[in-house]
Amino acid sequence: MLLDLGNPLFWLSAFVAITLTGISKSGFAAGGGALAVPLLALWLPVSQSVFLMLPILLMMDVKTIQYYRHHTNWAILSNLLPAALVGIIIGGIFLNRLDDQVLRLVLGILCIVFALWQNLAPVLGSIPGGAYIWGTISGFTSTVIHAGGPPISMYLIAINLPKMVWLATSGVFFGVVNLTKLVPYIASGEWQFTTVYYSIILFPIAIFGTWAGKKIQGHISQSQFVNWCRYLLLASGIVLIFKAF
């Protein structure tokens, strides 16, 4: 992966994407990659954006679990994690086998759908076998494009978890999922040393984002933050679809 490190637009996109991802993970229990990958994919191939984000997401998971681990609901995780493993295996099969233009198009469509998903979440999340269905989908979309947050949130919204339990349970879920994703990512043979190097350079932004999420989660409404993330997802999705064509 070759980056123009002198391009201020890349660094601006990276700072916004990673900061909001950290805030969303530690402040609002969102997976986060659904926001970061589209912004980074404006400057990088989608596949390299995905590889770049994994170490960063793992760093965020460690901090989020550290903040909230005592509130974890292990009974819910016992259903979600086996299903997510199935999704990760399926996602690993498709990893780096799709054309980059196709990925941009699919990612753009998913961004728009996720941006407009608010009214769909309670309905879709409450379908029978929701833990297994959305756990599997989350594992798959997390592996392919780090977009595991919206699917799992549909289920967690439907079961009405208290805020702190949601933060802790989601944090452990994505920590395990992202750690497991190391296997297909390494096996793909496409994960380059330079990609890891750039991820490490961006670690301070990840730490700042998760710290900020913990600080602000009690001071602004979740609906306000989620709305801004939706607007950014919607804009990113539109741009990605145009770039795909």
Assigned domain for 124 exists: yes
Is the alpha carbon torsion for 107, 89, 199, 97 positive or negative? negative
The pLDDT assigned to 193 comes to 80
Q: How confident is the model at residue 197 (pLDDT cuts 50, 70, 90)?
A: confident
Q: Give the mean pLDDT of the chain.
A: 82
Name the residue range of residue 84's domain: 8-244
Assigned domain for 238 exists: yes
Assigned domain for 2 exists: no
Q: pTM value?
A: 0.81
CA distances for 172 relative to 1, 33, 100, 240, angstroms: 30, 16, 31, 30
Instruction: Report the C-alpha gap between 85 and 106 in whole angstroms.
Output: 22
Q: Phi, psi at residue 192, to the nearest 5°?
A: -95, 155
The pLDDT assigned to 180 comes to 94
What is the residue type of 168? A
Assigned domain for 219 exists: yes
Assigned domain for 192 exists: yes
Count up the domains in the chain and report the number. Answer: 1
Q: 85-89, 134-138, 143-147: which has the minimum mean pLDDT?
A: 143-147
Assigned domain for 117 exists: yes
Assigned domain for 3 exists: no
Assigned domain for 95 exists: yes
